[in-house]
A = this chain, B = another copy of it.
Amino acid sequence: MKETKKYSAPFIKRMPIYYRYLSTLLQVGVNRISSNDLSRWLGITASQVRQDFSCFEGSGLQGYGYEVGVLHKEIAKVLGLDVMRKMIVLGGGSLGQALAKHTNFEKNGFKIVAIFDINPQVVGKKIKDIEVLHVDALREFVSKHQVDLAAITVPATHANEAANLAVEMGITALWNFVPVELKVPKSVVIENIHLSDSLMVLGYKHRESQLKDE
């Protein structure tokens, strides 16, 4: 079925936040929640919450709240969490290994199927039950396993090389952890996790908050 609805980027960015929180509510057996409570917990205004959910099924009667299970399913549908996607990790260093050990991704429909590296000290290891393979085996692996996404955790000097390799193999979604702007065709989608950038912003906020106190 072809999805025709197009959502705005800020809307899509808020969806995982709701989704996480609704998952927790379901775990603890809360079945109903108001926009005000969601707002208080998530730091999103109540009117924004109501607007975001207005297009969803079972979207809250006044004074009655939202059905948590229904919302949870609707958001999963929007985000496409109802399918299992396969991801490889390019770069088997400490960050790549930490990603492989992360248990939450699979719960959300993202399965890490292999890690690739060139370092003989890492190649051949298993991280949980995920094998670290030599990058020479990448082509064969990808063509065999229908890989959807690649996380990139190689050293900065090799980031574009790794990205291009993934794209050559037909992977069109990159999760980039390297502090570099990747140069890839426009058809390739990227999400960046720039740790140093985030830390610098935190440093700035920290200093600002101290200056306020003076």
CB within 8 Å of B: which residues of A? Answer: 2-3, 6, 12-13, 15-17, 19-21, 41-43, 78-81, 85, 93-95, 97-99, 101-102, 104-105, 108-110, 148-149, 172-175, 179-181, 187, 189-191, 193-211, 213-214
Contact = CB atoms under 8 A, between A and B. Distances in A.
Contact of A109 (B20, B187, B198, B203): B203
A191 B172 contact: no
Given A172-B209, A191-B205, A209-B172, A200 B95 contact: no
Interface centre among A12, A195, A202 (most CB of B within 10 A): A202
A12 B204 contact: yes
A3 B204 CA distance: 12
A211 B2 contact: yes
A181 B43 contact: yes
Given A85-B203, A148-B206, A173-B206, 7 more contacts: A13-B201, A17-B181, A80-B206, A81-B200, A94-B101, A97-B98, A104-B179
